[in-house]
A and B are shown apart, each in its own frame.
Chain A
Amino acid sequence: MTDLLANLALGFGTALSLQNLWLCFVGCMVGTLIGVLPGVGPIATIAMLLPITFGLPPTGALIMLAGIYYGAQYGGSTTAILVNIPGEATSVVTVLDGHQMAKQGRAGVALGVAAIGSFIAGCVATLFIAAIGRPLSSIAQLFGPAEYFSLMVMGLIFAVVLARGSVLKAICMILLGLLLATVGTDLVTGQERLTLGLQDLSDGVDFASMAMGIFGFAEIIKNLENPETRDVVHGVIGRLLPSKKDMQDSAWPIARGTVIGAILGILPGNGAVLGPFASYTVEKKLAKDSSRFGRGAIEGVAGPESANNAGAQTAFIPLLTLGIPPNAVMALMVGAMTIHGIVPGPQVMTKNPELFWGMVASMWVGNLMLLIINLPLVGMWVKLLKVPYRMMFPAISIFCCIGIYSINNSTSDVLFTAFFAVVGYALLKFGFEPAPMLLGFVLGKLMEEKLRQAMILSRGSFMTFVERPLSAALLVVSAIMLVIAILPAMRQKRDQVFTE
């Protein structure tokens, strides 16, 4: 305990130096900005800023880059809530209820609760890292391919629960997402699959172009056809910040979301994407009246947003304690550290204590900064919603185009977005919900990878999934959840919701 305090003192001593405070602020600002801009993600930005950090001391540089990463998570929810565009897999869930809230004139409340929830989650997750980061990192070692596959199966069950309407349609959407995830080069043999002979598809379908087409553009086309519901906010804009009751409703979802997100964030291979989905599922199952979900339930924003941000913080654990990056942004952080002469490894905590603890402390500082940056911005965002739709939609469209183009400087990514706009519109017309499909897509890649790794390691025996205790336990939980999801009684309730 005294160790922890001494370490934290060292950390805050580093993080609170004038230069590091400034860098943290710059990182958070840039992060918020790129998070808000659809398409432009932390990967492109951090890559762009790497050369600028050459002249900075390593700790300061990493504090800034980390700020960009979690700042982007904050900013991403703004776009999701305001214009129905999930910038990243983790904000797909925020779209569901957040944008509905915005349409009901509660955009300010949704943004506020997202910011407050994220702040609380960020603070708690940072404490997690400080206090038990080291032991927690061993969780990553428990997860071999078999365990991971079972976890993904559980994730797919979330997708069924996520849906509002018919279970059959939700399952079809998951299957479609899984099918889209198989597009690209086969991991094991290197063969090209379903790429239509296009080289641009050899690494698969890009998440951002798909999400933007299916959510963002399809929504624009749909909005344009009904003039009455066209403007995002029709009627009065309610309060700008959450009321006491809103906060009471969100308190437990925030707490649960934080814990769920923090734990899943530690897993290697980007387990953090599961966090918001898991949190949404839990909230929907615990709610007295689950039919409110998908229609602007505040718990559906508070929980997943907290999970999202908690996961973004704890994703640093495998990197900072083991030197293993769990996702693409963290891999880039490894590069950034390497450029500064600190190659992350199992010894980084002992070899560079002021870097480790400085970063941990800066995350706390950064979360506070983000709250201070974001809360006043809420008023501005909400005012933006009053722009007439005939001017708003071309603006959204051009931001998306530039954003998508800038990911890989590729024309074909923009064309894929156009293609998915048509697909997304068709799905809407056929009464499908896109969220389960996106979850299927995100999990599909990991799932196939882990399934085939596990089967290779077990030399083709399916028993590996039940022989390994952790994997078996996860499968049992999935089975129970599936039964609950498709029990006839539940189904009836669903149909009622659907036909209301």
Chain B
Amino acid sequence: MKKLFSAALVMAAAFVAPAMAQTYPAKPVTMIVPFAAGGPTDIVARFVSEHMSRTLGQQIVIENVAGAGGTTGITRAAGAPADGYTIMMGHMGTHGAAPALYPGLKYDPTALIPVGIAASTPIIIVGSMKFQPKTLQEFVTFAKANPDKLNQAHAGIGSVSHSTCVMLNGQLGIKPTAVPYTGTGPALNDMISGQVDFMCDQIVNLAEQIRGGTIRAYAIASPERSPALPDVPTTKEAGLPDYQVIAWNAIFAPVGTAPEITAKLNDALRKALADEGTRTRLLNLGAVLPTASEQTQAFLGDFVKAEVARWNKALAAAK
């Protein structure tokens, strides 16, 4: 009965569906952010969408649909009509690690239409001040010598801090005891008080604590040092050159969205990334902005394929 009723309503709605707008966008565009408001991805989305709205002449409305490591929101966005009025802010987790973590994933990250990379935030390896090792080398030595004593915090299965540390542990060949938390905040709290020893997370979440001297940074997993934390060595300098991880954020549209529409969105995104105000705001987060060649749709398409393959390998090895 319920089904029949809703089916009848859907049919009724189909008759009055608005004619496809000739000039996109004719009404506000919804951007689904698959994480809670106020988190790193949400902030990046808000910064770029604010400028994009000006270019498009229509408001981009952020809708936060959090849950299951971001896959709830992307599933919903991927199932939305491919008319360009629903787009999504995907990231390293939802469009890289998710296929390896969630076997029943209801969308294919590589099939979604790439719009462009917005901004990326590098990963930092940090430790508690009460934890003995002071440098990355000491950390590696300690970790290999005391595999039973090591406690690693993460912000939940599927979170950036989880998958990036799994990759780190795999590369180092260490097996620390993983302590799950429900977010970066509680994990940081227990790391400051010395309950847990180390974790990996995005620079945005950690920079102020590192500057304030409450936690110790071992290395930043990007090719160059971050202007936000010039004293923190890169993984390459610290002797772990293969550990290059960045939490990237990129805009995608549902499968079937017209190329003219995604091109228009890509153009708006490029203009946002060229805007001085938007750039400054993003850089203040410690974010890394894509270069001109990295701003194309094609680049993002290839990049996602590479990321999915890379995370599949890293996370499968850990299982």
Question: Which A residues lie at the B interface, using CB under 8 A?
Answer: 43, 46-47, 50-51, 54, 140-142, 144-145, 185, 187-190, 199-200, 202-203, 268-269, 318, 322-326, 328, 330-336, 338-339, 341, 343-348, 408-410, 449, 452-453, 456-457, 459
With a cutoff of 8 Å between Cβ atoms, the chain A residues found around residue B151 in the complex are 456-457
A346 and B67 contacting across the interface, CB-CB below 8 Å: no
Contact partner, A269, options B43, B186, B284, B285, Cβ 8 Å: B186
Given contacts A141-B192, A335-B37, contact A185 B43 (CB under 8 A): no
Of A43, A331, A348, most buried by chain B (CB within 10 Å of CB) is A331
B204's partner among A50, A269, A343 (CB-CB below 8 A) is A343
In B183-217, the 8 Å CB interface with A consists of: 183, 185-186, 188-190, 192-193, 195-196, 204, 207-209, 211-214
Please, how many angstroms separate the alpha-carbon atoms of A135 and B212 in the complex? Answer: 17
Report the interface size class on chain B. Answer: 35 or more
Give chain B interface residues in 147-183, CB to chain A under 8 Å. 148, 151, 156-158, 177-183
Chain B interfacial positions (CB closer than 8 Å to A):
36-39, 42-43, 46-47, 50, 62-68, 72, 75, 101, 106, 148, 151, 156-158, 177-183, 185-186, 188-190, 192-193, 195-196, 204, 207-209, 211-214, 281, 284-285
* Interface-centre pick from A338, A408, A456 (highest chain B CB count, 10 A): A338
Q: Which residues of B contact A326 (CB under 8 A)?
A: 185
Chain B residue nearest to A336 in the complex (CB): B38
Chain B, residue nearest A453 (CB): B179
A453 touches B180 (CB 8 A): yes
Q: Is the interface of B mostly helix, strand, loop or mixed?
A: mixed
Can you list 9 A-B contacts with CB-CB less than 8 angstroms, sorted by A residue number? A54-B50, A144-B193, A335-B42, A345-B207, A346-B214, A449-B181, A452-B180, A457-B179, A459-B148
- Least CB distance from B105 to A in Å reads 11
A408 to B182, CA, bound (A): 19
Chain A residues contacting B68 (CB-CB under 8 Å) are 185, 199, 202-203
Given A47-B64, A335-B38, also A347-B192 (CB < 8 A): no
Q: Which residues of B contact A43 (CB under 8 A)?
A: 36-37
The answer to whether A144 and B43 touch (CB under 8 A), given A331-B38, A347-B212, A456-B177, is: no
- Which residues does chain B contribute within 8 Å of A345, judged by CB atoms? 207-209, 211-212, 214
Not counting A188-B157, A199-B106, A331-B185, a sample of 6 additional A-B residue pairs whose C-beta atoms are within 8 angstroms of each other reads: A141-B189, A335-B37, A343-B207, A345-B207, A346-B214, A457-B195
**Which residues does chain A contribute within 8 Å of B181, judged by CB atoms?**
449, 453
Tell me the minimal C-beta distance from B98 to chain A in angstroms. Answer: 12
Chain B hits for A324, CB < 8 A: 185-186, 188-189, 192
Contact assessment for B67 and A338 in the assembled complex, using a CB-CB cutoff below 8 Å: no
**A144 and B130 alpha carbons, distance in the complex (Å):** 14
Across the interface, do A332 and B208 meet the contact criterion of CB distance under 8 Å?
Answer: no
